[in-house]
């Protein structure tokens, strides 16, 4: 990870002020890789990471039977990422100017309303995967689903969204933020 971080910093042609939030998220995510699953959502650095990145990281730690939203929709990973960057949350968002030429991944760093709409749409997809996993496990007669990842994700969804809303307010609009 340290080598990746070094190479990314060498490749970056953007000013630090433009990459600050993304860089902070990268460093916090690097830390998250080594945190125990049950403690991920209680880690103090988690508020610097978009909830969707935390959810997908936790899905990656889950059992094989717990599908990702891409698997559930029958999409490639690239198609799912494209959906997250270009379409997630647009149905709930009415910008003054259509963002069709700008990836939402970039817009989400500057437009708090769009960022929240995208994260909520992604949570809806993750939550439907969790529901489907619980139903499949129940249908197979498994009274207990592999509950560690399932419980952490179910319990953390709304809390991560609320924390992200506060964090984006503090990061994107620091002068108007008052907790």
pLDDT along the chain (179 residues), means of 10: 62 54 83 91 88 94 92 94 82 56 54 82 95 86 71 91 82 54
Residue 123's pLDDT is 95
pTM for this entry: 0.78
Provide the token pair at 146. 């592999």
Residue 48's pLDDT is 85
Q: How far apart are CA 124 and CA 118, in angstroms?
A: 10
Residue 139's pLDDT is 81
Taking only Cα atoms into account, the Rg of the chain, rounded to an integer number of angstroms, comes to 17
Residue 178's pLDDT is 52
Helices (H), the chain: 2-11, 16-32, 51-61, 69-73, 77-86, 104-107, 112-139, 147-172
What torsion, rounded to 10 degrees, do the Cα atoms 150, 62, 29, 42 define? 30
């Amino acid at each position: 990870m340290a080598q990746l971080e070094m190479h990314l910093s060498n490749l970056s042609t953007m000013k630090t002020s433009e990459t600050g939030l993304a860089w902070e998220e990268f460093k916090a995510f690097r830390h998250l890789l080594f945190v125990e699953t049950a403690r991920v959502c209680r880690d103090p650095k988690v508020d610097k990471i978009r909830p969707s990145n935390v959810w997908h990281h936790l899905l990656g730690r889950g059992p094989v039977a717990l599908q990702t939203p891409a698997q559930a929709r029958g999409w490639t990973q690239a198609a799912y990422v494209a959906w997250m960057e270009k379409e997630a949350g647009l149905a709930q968002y009415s910008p003054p100017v259509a963002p069709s030429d700008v990836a939402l991944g970039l817009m989400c760093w500057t437009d708090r309303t769009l960022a929240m709409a995208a994260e909520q749409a992604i949570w809806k997809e993750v939550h439907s995967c969790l529901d489907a996993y619980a139903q499949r496990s129940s249908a197979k007669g498994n009274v207990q689903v592999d509950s560690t990842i399932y419980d952490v994700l179910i319990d953390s969804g709304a809390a991560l969204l609320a924390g992200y809303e506060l964090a984006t307010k503090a990061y994107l609009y620091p002068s108007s933020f008052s907790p």
